[in-house]
Structure formats: C-alpha cells, structure tokens
Amino acid sequence: QVQLVESGGGLVQAGGSLRLSCAASGRTDSGYAVGWFRQAPGKEREFVSAISFSGWVVYYADSVKGRCTISRDNAKNTVELRVSSLKPEDTALYYCAAQTTTSGARPKLLDPRQYDYWGQGTQVTVSS
C-alpha cells in the first residue's frame, strides 16, 4: 500500500502561481509513477500532469502546458507540481495518484484507471 497526501492548495488570484506537493509513504520501495488529476464541480476528473519513476518522462495536459512543471525527489518520496499564470478555469480539487510501474508509456501515465493509489485532494481556487 502507498499512502498519498497532497498539500499546497489554496485561494489565489488569476495570474498567480501555486506549488502543489504530493508526499508518499508506505510501500514506496517499488518504482511508481505519479500523476496529477483535477476535478471541478460538475465535471469529470481530468488529467493534468504525470511523471515517471525515473523522472525522465513527463506529460502535461494541453490546458496547462507551458504553465506547469512537475518534478520529483525519490529520496524524499515527494512529487511537486508548480502551476503558474493561474486562470479561474484551473479551479478544482487536485489529486495526486500513484501506480506501481517503472514505465513511462503515455497511455499508462495519462489513464486514471491505471493508478492504484489516490490522495484525498487539495483544493485550488482561482479568483478572477
């Protein structure tokens, strides 16, 4: 089992930035990829970004590409998502998720059904 805890969400004005963090604990000895997803009220959960276990492979949704950077520190079992130039449409509950894999294959990392473990989420609210 892997436990995930997100932090760093909050209320921010449009144009601002946030740094979201995902801390993993438990059975982290196996290689795992991490993805960030978000869900706005009344909308389906959508992919935001993902990073392979090595950190060499990263993916971003078109909606955040150029405004978002994902990184990880395997020694600390943390994954960070930095989002800048925030827009009101970025308002959502942001989840991090983990899947036990060392693969960096796009279909695996973008598909929420491939993830085995999920955090409780951290709320991001962007005011206009």
| Res 102: pLDDT | 87
- Check residue 41 and give left, alpha or beta (phi > 0: left; psi -120 to 50: alpha): beta
| Helices (H) then strands (E): counts for the chain | 1, 11
* Cβ–Cβ < 8 Å for 35, 23: no
What is the rounded distance in angstroms from the CA atom of residue 89 to the CA atom of residue 102?
32
Q: What is the pLDDT of residues 37-66, one digit of tens each?
A: 999 999 999 999 999 999 999 999 999 999
Angle at 12 between CA 8 and CA 17, to 5 degrees: 65
For 48, 105, 114, the CA distances from 124, given in Å and listed in that order, are: 13, 28, 24
